[in-house]
Amino acid sequence: MEISFTEKDLQFRGQVRSWIKNDYPAHIKQKQNNGEKLSKQDIIDFHKALSLQGWMGYNWPVEYGGTGWSSTQIYIFQKEFGLAGCINILPFGVGMVGPVIYTFGSDEQKKRFLPNILNFDTWWCQGYSEPGSGSDLASLKTKALKEGDHYIVNGSKTWTTLAQHADWIFCLVRTETTEKKQEGISFILIDMKTPGVEVEPIITIDGEHEVNAVFFTDVKVPAENLIGEEGKGWTYAKFLLAHERFGIAVVGASIRQLNILKDIVAGLKNPNLERKITELEINLNALEMLELRLLSDLENGGHPGAESSILKIRGTEIQQRLTELFVEASGEYALIYPGPHGHSNNQPAGPAHAAKSVSKFLNYRKASIYGGSNEIQKNIISKYILGL
């Protein structure tokens, strides 16, 4: 057994660190350091900077303009970005629809969509969930009926992250009513500017606008926007789920948060809280090591599958626990409403991190719900690993 990275991988890590140190957009870093809210343009700027470096396709093969990195390199890249507190790379384009297009799309589609993803000229959002179909995604009802060389789409999607900024949405739609509900589902790309597409904000308990309801009324979508074969959408969606394995444990970001928390708590003389933080640190060590075990498996020809559900469950539990401890470290100042300060522009007294801590605590309740809820992840483990 051997736990260290190779010389080459360490060199690669140095490169990543150096980019973060020298080339990460300074205006974004400054805003993040000051705890300011990032604008849409900041997020675009970050992705553009990444493109410029040629790292946007960090998980793509070289032939489609990706980096062709090994699993270890992808792991190092994501970990370092997390540790440094970089903005999250939006998964919808490069992590989700991109791989589906280069794996199942036509040459025409590859030419049309892939470069825009790598340049971040198109902001993608994910239209899977519907009001009636969350965990049971295959029951989705949004219909796409073929009429000549178009599909007419009717229905609605919900919880669509950042759809308010998106140029395009990739959707699972029902093109046929079949006995087995998975079989009538297709994967289609829709321009958000098409007449009949409407986006309505959904405000979450942290007071933020991050998710939306998206409505489709007689939306005319060119048939060439359908990916692969009609009725195969479910297969593509499942492929996509298996594709994003690492990163869901967000170990890097959690280690960073843990260290920030330790600094805050160092001055508080609160042994109870210190104990809880230590317990969390041990859990985080376990998660980090589990991720490395899966990585090693992958690099040595294995095919880890449902194990990634453990990463999702424990990763989000740790993320959520961290936010709870930040709130605890805020003491009484956790009382102040984290949203925009309605009545006054003055910052209230108390620790600087307090309002943000509560806001994040509330926001991160989502982590155990989205991307396949933690209950669903446990169903997967019990079925595919324990054989129950």
Partner 1 sequence: MNLNYSDEQQMLRDQIQKFCESDYSFEKREAIIKSDNGYDKDLWKMFSELGWLSVPFKEETGGLGYGPVELTILFEEFGKVLVVEPYLSTVVISGSILDNSNFSNKSKLIGSITSGEKHISLAYIESNQTFDHSSLSTTAISDGNTLIVNGMKSLVLNGGNADHIIASVMLDGEFALVLIDQGLSGYSSNSYPTVDGQTCAEIQLENVSVPSESIIAKGEDAINLLSEAINLATLCISAESIGCMTACYLKTVEYTKERRQFDQPISNFQVLQHRMVDMFIETEMCKSLLYKAMLECDSNEPTKFKSVSGLKSQIGTAGKFVSQQAVQLHGGMGVSEELLIGHYLKKLVAIDSLFGNSSHHLNKYISS
Ligand X SMILES: Cc1cc2nc3c(=O)[nH]c(=O)nc-3n(C[C@H](O)[C@H](O)[C@H](O)COP(=O)(O)OP(=O)(O)OC[C@H]3O[C@@H](n4cnc5c(N)ncnc54)[C@H](O)[C@@H]3O)c2cc1C
Residue 64 corresponds to which tokens in the numbers above? Answer: 């489609």
Residues contacting residue 149 through CB under 8 Å, at least 6 positions apart: 222, 223, 224
Is 377 an interacting residue with respect to ligand X (CB under 6 A)? no
Is 156 an interacting residue with respect to ligand X (CB under 6 A)? no
Minimum CB distance to partner 1, residue 85 (Å) = 23
Strands 168-174 and 124-127: parallel
Please identify, using beta-carbon distances, which residue of 99 and 315 lies nearer to partner 1: 315
Please identify, using beta-carbon distances, which residue of 172 and 295 lies nearer to ligand X: 172
Is 376 an interacting residue with respect to ligand X (CB under 6 A)? yes
Cβ distance 339 to 359 under 8 Å?
yes
Cα(96)–Cα(109) distance, integer angstroms: 15
Please identify, using beta-carbon distances, which residue of 211 and 249 lies nearer to ligand X: 211
Instruction: Provide the 8-state DSSP code for 134.
Output: S
Residue 134: left (phi > 0), alpha (psi -120 to 50), or beta? alpha
Is 370 an interacting residue with respect to ligand X (CB under 6 A)? yes
Residue 280 corresponds to which tokens in the numbers above? Answer: 């969390």
Is 291 an interacting residue with respect to partner 1 (CB under 8 A)? no
**Residue 305 Cα distances to 135, 292, 356, angstroms:** 19, 14, 36
Question: What does 160 interact with, of ligand X, partner 1, none (CB < 5 to 8 A by kind)?
Answer: ligand X
Cα(4)–Cα(292) distance, integer angstroms: 11
Among 188, 104, 105, CA closest to 145: 188
Q: Which of 247, 323, 366, 380 binds ligand X (CB under 6 A)?
A: 366
Q: Which of 362, 372, 377, 380 binds partner 1 (CB under 8 A)?
A: 362
* Stretch binding ligand X (CB under 6 A), from 55-63, 121-129, 268-276, 306-314: 121-129
**Residue 358 Cα distances to 251, 337, 355, 362, 369, angstroms:** 21, 8, 5, 6, 19
**Residue 144 Cα distances to 14, 104, 157, 171, 254, angstroms:** 49, 19, 13, 10, 41
Is 234 an interacting residue with respect to ligand X (CB under 6 A)? no
Q: Which of 126, 175, 316, 330 binds ligand X (CB under 6 A)?
A: 126
| Phi, psi dihedrals of residue 117, rounded to the nearest 5° | -70, -45
Question: What does 177 interact with, of partner 1, ligand X, none (CB < 5 to 8 A by kind)?
Answer: none
Q: Which of 370, 383, 384, 385 binds partner 1 (CB under 8 A)?
A: 370
Cα(64)–Cα(111) distance, integer angstroms: 9
Is 360 an interacting residue with respect to ligand X (CB under 6 A)? no
Q: Which of 36, 136, 229, 299 binds partner 1 (CB under 8 A)?
A: 136
Site for partner 1 in 68-97 (CB under 8 A): none
Instruction: Provide the 8-state DSSP code for 350.
Output: S
Is 195 an interacting residue with respect to partner 1 (CB under 8 A)? no
Is 371 an interacting residue with respect to partner 1 (CB under 8 A)? no
Is 139 an interacting residue with respect to ligand X (CB under 6 A)? no
Binding site for ligand X (CB under 6 A): 126-129, 134-135, 159-161, 211, 366, 369-370, 373, 375-376, 379
Binding site for partner 1 (CB under 8 A): 129, 132-136, 139, 158-159, 202-205, 207, 211, 268-270, 272-273, 324, 327-339, 341-344, 346, 348-351, 358, 361-362, 365-366, 368-370, 373-375, 378
